[in-house]
A = this chain, B = another copy of it.
């Protein structure tokens, strides 16, 4: 969804489009990866922290942004860039990502076998990166 479309959606639902909401929204949308609440607070010193919390909650309710759980806690991202699995190295902390397309067949297999339809994007996946694996 484009920024203007989101703003229209806000209006359509009776929400107001304030400078703070524009700023927070723009910040999340321009971030390629993930951004924590505290990151937003730091990048927008003029916006109060409680406004950041309230706005991200609102945007998540609207389906515009989503959060994922990484080792350090929750981080937000554009809802539409929700199509990759986050890999975090347990040893060195290196982060990598994997398009969900590459594991789609297995997702379906798991759904068929267990009845549970997994979404591997909401929680990160821990493990060992290639480098640490090679290092033993």
Contact = CB atoms under 8 A, between A and B. Distances in A.
24 contacts: A69-B69, A69-B123, A87-B110, A87-B114, A87-B118, A96-B114, A98-B116, A102-B109, A103-B110, A105-B106, A106-B109, A106-B110, A111-B133, A116-B128, A117-B127, A117-B133, A118-B126, A119-B125, A119-B127, A119-B128, A122-B125, A122-B127, A123-B125, A123-B126
A34 to B, nearest CB: 14
Question: Interface majority SS on A: helix, strand, loop or mixed?
Answer: mixed
Contacts of A113: 98, 102
Interface of A: 69, 71, 87, 89-90, 96, 98, 102-103, 105-106, 109-111, 113-120, 122-130, 133
Report copies per complex.
2
A129 B115 contact: yes
A130 B118 CA distance: 10
A43 B133 CA distance: 39
